[in-house]
Structure 1
């Protein structure tokens, strides 16, 4: 796990009574150099408290965080990166104890924050009075306090469990299958380095035992020296007690020589303490070597047991092989019989499938013959429908636009209006009785009505009647002639004789357009897609098909096909028989 400290802030923590902030920490190695007694170790202790000591604990260690003689609440805030993500933890001890953890997923407080911090750092809950390094997980191995650089301590249960799980996984991967076969020669070679063929110690084991004996002698000597150092520590404690007395008497200038002697004794005691730390480190290293030899002995015993188990398994395998050889002979005989039956079943199946395929071809030809007949019938129905559709489409194109109809109607109304104007200005004369002596403009008159629109002379015997219409009647007649010419030209342009004829033709054209949709639907209904004949939907496909259809197809597929259902049953029975034969053959070929 990667852990990078970015910022540390303290308040009321041991000698840091006033707020103190250390930031600007970067990746890599950060070195803090300050004189003695400036708080470097206190800074490390604050980091350990923030990461591993619970906020609501009130044990001796937590009480030591408060400045001496002051009843205040120590506060710590640390910003750090873990697993590539930004985190921040804030803790307050003793008075108003609290904890808060901020991370990428939000904020947590109280017990949830402590649990999240433990999971993030791989630690567990520390319930000891002075702080248990074993509860700190893997980071506990890297935590070195003041004056502990030369001490060697065993890892805690968390670290042991992680290492044990890793080693067990590696051992399991090596001892299984081909991997074991690859490392077996190396195991035998290393076994020869420690034991002879008769099981007597030799080689490295003899050297290790010699080193072990030497280590035990060194350990005994170190224990003797340790006892002496312990005595020196007792003397040092006594000297420290005397030093306290001397500190009180520093004002007395008469004891200068005595103080110098005590300072010399203190220097000697410090040298003895350093020597004791060195011996303790040497003793720990020797103890690790002894444990390594014991572990190697245990692994050697396991390897010997594995060799014995392998030999026993090999003997059982040889006995089983003899029994399997006899069974194999019997199995081969059964396999020969099964192969004969399998060949017969395959031949029967092949014949059944050939008959089935021939029957399918006949059925397909019959179905094609039927579809061709239906196609001919649809083609016969299609031709008159297409002729009718073409005629309806032509009629549909003769429709006169409504704007033209409107123009014709306007011109017809103009003619009616001009005619009414002419009739309003003309004179109406009715002749009754004997009109043999009456002449109109020199022509004999006839009984009945007559409209006079211009000056007319009527001779009545010797008398002459002159009728003159209003002066505006001539312009009305001119307007009527123009309106009739315009109407006639418009009707001639569209091939009709009257407005009523135009309306009638539009009705016929509209009915033809509606009939086009009906005919198209009927044609679409009788020209569906026929997959068997490869015909697409539409009118062009059947016409093309019928045009390219040879006359010989009249007789193809006319005969009745076989019973496909019966052939299907026969094929299914042949397939089942083949499957049973294959199962018997496979069972006979498979070793038991």
Structure 2
């Protein structure tokens, strides 16, 4: 890998998310892979690499400002170890505050601008303007996140680097100095006639503008002449339209049509009124006919019901006599068994009393048990409520919560930032003790070990057997930093004092105790909630209900005790069972007596029911027949049957006459509808109104056009048009002469440029040859078209496919292959080259990805490749050296 550039280590401090010093460890030749999740800082490491190599240490431009740590100001520091042409180098830069640069290697140690100049010489780049990145080909080989889809955008120094790497002599191909002088003369002559964007200038521009102004004025005059002709033509049309609109016969016909439409509407309205009146008469006659028919039907029904009622009364009188005899016989049989039922019932009542007393004793025992359970439930509820009260009191006694802990942590982070800022201003001592040197270096009374010591204040270093060294760090802003550090420490102390804690650990312990108290309170609340879940009541309400339940049970027990004064020995349940057996025996005896009474009693009941039913039916039938007779007599007294028949005939005749009158009116209905007549009237009225408006508008337009015609006829348009045509012709001749001169100069320039392009295509062959092997490995039998600006414009497989039309994955793969080709070309010419890819190859399918791995592995034998990715699992088959980000171990002496 001779001639290549090998990155061996990258160290960053105070750079974006990396506040403390960290180092990218494990770098070496070949493929290096850093796999880490999003937000880890991979793009930050690439930005730091670009900054240390390409940004001047004194720059305060936006790329440098963006390197500062998140959440505060700081001094970003980046150090890198690399090998170039077999020589080891170390480069370190600090930006913003106390900026410096140091380059060591090859027996040299350079600082400041000398180090920047030597670095640019080593890398083959040119310094950027106003603190921007140095320009060269390395910029194109270090691909940031999201830029792998596009081909590199080369700066002028980068193109110069590529040209210097190509084996050809462009000047010899294009005529050397003579071609240059011709192109310079052509450019100077074209500059007289054309500006930098190819637009006319000088007399060429004056000729074009004069021609345009003359043409514009000529067009304006022609437009005025055309407008005059249009006005003359329009006047004839206006006169014709005015004669049409002012026709008295047509106006009279429109007024006559409007009057006729009004008369039609009046006839329709009159017919509708008469039709509605006739229909009302027809409906009234039909209603009268229906009423007479209903009266006649009611009288017929009364007569039929009266005859049926008289027959039913006679039938029921015979049945009543039979039912009365059956009832008398059943009463005599029933009296003999009634006494037996009474005796059995008395015995049953005595057994019922004994059973009730036994049941009372059992109920008392049940209430005693229920009272015990109610007292236990009240006790559990009371203990749970007391536990919630105790847990709430313990939680209220806690002096810290998440908000106060957040303030303490914020104060701690501010203190860390102040300490980091103090360390950024400190003097760093890198100590490497020789064998036997342990304990011989003492800093302010403390023996030093190998490692790094940060001195932030004046200190004395004593070397045993040698002497002492007074160290005085740079004083720029030291008092401010001390004040910031003291303020941060005081803010942390106040935050801790506010919660009664001595340190962060105590605050964390207090917060943990609070969380334990919260858990205890939550557990007690859960127990209480479980006891209250069934009722959904509050603790106070539930306890009040439980106490009322207990008191109710006591009252019920007292009542049972007062009612049952007997002191019966034995088990209450056994006594109750014996009473139930005695009750069952008494019930059986009563049932037997009642059963004996049942048959004759049922017979008597049925006889009484039949007698009562028949009496009721007879009474109803007799009353109904009498009422029907009275109603029929009353109706005939009001209107005799003959008069009702005559009224029916008259009502029928009136309904037929009303229907016939309605049909005659319907036959005389005029044509059309009232809505159509209204529409015709509105249309005719609108036509007349619009005719008046059109007539007024035509007269106004004619007056305006007559005024424009008189004004235009006295303006001499034809003479002015002829003068503008002569002026335009003169400007057009000058424009044509300038255009011919420009065409001749451009033809000469294009001829020389064509020769230069042909030569460019020949000298681009080495670059195409450098890209082709990797391209053929990924796309068999494919050929890339390389443009003079060193970009790939198309891919030729079966057909030519423009680069912009390819898929995202194919364009990304070609862009990576182009950078590999450029790196190979630079390495072959002894230029420093290494490839860095941040989240590249994200669009490749599995087959293409494997071939890209093969291509990268083959290229890794010639140059170093560093890959940064958040998709580590996709790159497991690459066989790359795994990188890690590790904290830099340093001995920090606070207060020095």
Does the alignment reach a TM-score above 0.5?
A: no
With a CA cutoff of 8 Å and minimum separation of 6, indicate the structure with the bigger relative contact order: 2
The TM tier, using the shorter chain, reads 0.3 to 0.5
- For normalisation by structure 2, the TM-score amounts to 0.27
